Structure 1
């Protein structure tokens, strides 16, 4: 009798600089006795369609997508779940038993789970200010609006990206980082979210946490380094603050559950990825 083939999952994108996802998922497969492996596939744009066709094979559980293919892959799938449609990006795909591929997005629920776990707060009823208007900011804004946040304000260097996000997600106030209204919004905010690469690719803070009230919390999506200048400044003020490592784990847990039916592998994934996070430094 021929043994069942090893099941497969992969991450596609270009470039693939980090292996956090691979380490977390492979540890969770091993801990749960699942014969599966997680591969990293750095591919060109012209290879995406061929990869998606390959992932319909019976050995595949699904796959994940990172930049720059989170939007491109949507047209190649059989279905895209409403949340991913609203965000405008798919970062994970489930292969159904009949070979059909269903796209979903783990960033929004992963963000909400990390805020709950690491900051001890709920998005419902909160006044949220999001710095940045890219793909990550779309997921954050969608999570906050869906949870019933009292206000979600998205600010970027120019108004156009923030307004495009507001038009797509709905229920969002768009503005610029230099708006006169921003200091007042920050003073009233319950949560400031950095959804830019400031603190990772460039030094500094995108918004001064000194403008926040004493009750506010800060969530920085950057996870390399573990403590950004924004987090350090917020903690020095005595504010609750958390980095993006919790979201990295939370979104991976959600994808793993969809592929395997195993509900919560948070502890396994967190332990597996900790050495990578602790040893990382910003480029």
Structure 2
């Protein structure tokens, strides 16, 4: 039997995932020549069949949308962190055959903030109320002592955020998206919205902003992040999140720690700087 060990990222769409770049950079730095990491286009319907076909050489999977919740019924157990937001972005294949789901997005978000010296905040604001917003709430449950204001576009989203706050032990207040410029005065602002959604807020950045965590990484910088930096505020970007969560995945899949954060980030930056035609 081959000694090669396999891991991969699954999702749909998946062509532009940076995960192979980050994980392969880690394998090279750690001299794990017998490890490979690939990407596969897999949607919810194809996921059960894909997982059934995996052999004993497989060690782990990274999952992106739309699979983070769909995978849960296919697993033997999931971590408390993954259960807290009903989202698995990491599957570990154990020696005894168990499939264990975990979530490195949440501790990755905390680690990205800690790297920039943000270990505790009194209050925070979240822009948007999608799946990433629930992970942001879970991260804030670890570092925010007070209220989190979530700026939403609908009452349904507001109700969801209240529910997540209750589950995660976070004091949540919701506000209308029309008032989102008020969020920019918070000690920590986490933007979880799609590309372009916060561009109109850029001109409302205060003279002395605190910290912005914008989960986007391509295109980068966003208009909001660029304006924030121009005003002297601290900015944490989506690549920071991607790298930190990938570091945790590498460590859990390979059993080798610490994973090479700097080398992984450097390769991620190189990949993002390449023209699309490449």
Q: Does 1:177 align with 2:177?
A: yes
Q: Flag the 1:44–1:267 CA change in 2: closer, same or farther, 3 A.
A: same
Q: Flag the 1:137–1:280 CA change in 2: closer, same or farther, 3 A.
A: farther
Shift, 1:165, TM fit: 2.6
Q: Is the 8 A contact 1:129 1:152 kept in 2?
A: yes
User: Separation in 1 of the partners of 2:206 and 2:82?
Assistant: 31
> Residue 49 of structure 1 aligns to a residue in which SS?
helix
**CA-to-aligned-CA distance 1:125-179 (integer Å, 9 cap, x gap):** 3311010111111111110013343222221211321320330242222232125
Q: Which residue of 2 aligns with 1:249?
A: 243
Q: Which residue of 1 aligns with 2:274?
A: 279
Question: Which one of the candidate residues 202, 222, 237 is aligned to 2:216?
Answer: 222
Q: How does 1:252-267 map to 2 (within 5 A)?
A: 252-264=246-258, 265-267=260-262
Question: Which one of the candidate residues 134, 144, 163 is aligned to 2:159?
Answer: 163
User: Separation in 2 of the partners of 1:213 and 1:109?
Assistant: 31
User: Separation in 1 of the partners of 2:203 and 2:138?
Assistant: 23
Q: Flag the 1:233–1:106 CA change in 2: closer, same or farther, 3 A.
A: same
**CA-to-aligned-CA distance 1:173-214 (integer Å, 9 cap, x gap):** 2232125xx665543x10111100133xx6x52645735472
Q: Is the 8 A contact 2:209 2:232 kept in 1?
A: no
**CA-to-aligned-CA distance 1:217-241 (integer Å, 9 cap, x gap):** 1111110122110011112222122
**CA-to-aligned-CA distance 1:71-120 (integer Å, 9 cap, x gap):** 11111101111111111211111111111111111111111111122x32
User: Separation in 1 of the partners of 2:203 and 2:149?
Assistant: 16
Q: Flag the 1:206–1:219 CA change in 2: closer, same or farther, 3 A.
A: farther
Q: Does 1:210 align with 2:214?
A: no
Q: Which residue of 2 aligns with 1:102?
A: 100
Q: Is the 8 A contact 1:29 1:36 kept in 2?
A: yes
User: Separation in 1 of the partners of 2:108 and 2:200?
Assistant: 22
Q: Which residue of 2 aligns with 1:72?
A: 70
Question: Which one of the candidate residues 114, 117, 121 is aligned to 1:120?
Answer: 117
Q: Which runs of 5+ in 2 are unaligned?
A: none
Q: Flag the 1:218–1:47 CA change in 2: closer, same or farther, 3 A.
A: same
Q: Which residue of 2 aligns with 1:59?
A: 57
Q: Which residue of 2 aligns with 1:194?
A: 191
User: Separation in 1 of the partners of 2:232 and 2:244?
Assistant: 25
User: Separation in 2 of the partners of 1:74 and 1:280?
Assistant: 36
Q: Flag the 1:183–1:210 CA change in 2: closer, same or farther, 3 A.
A: closer
Q: Which residue of 2 aligns with 1:268?
A: 263
Q: Flag the 1:238–1:194 CA change in 2: closer, same or farther, 3 A.
A: same
Q: TM-score, normalised by structure 2?
A: 0.89
Q: Which runs of 5+ in 1 are unaligned?
A: none
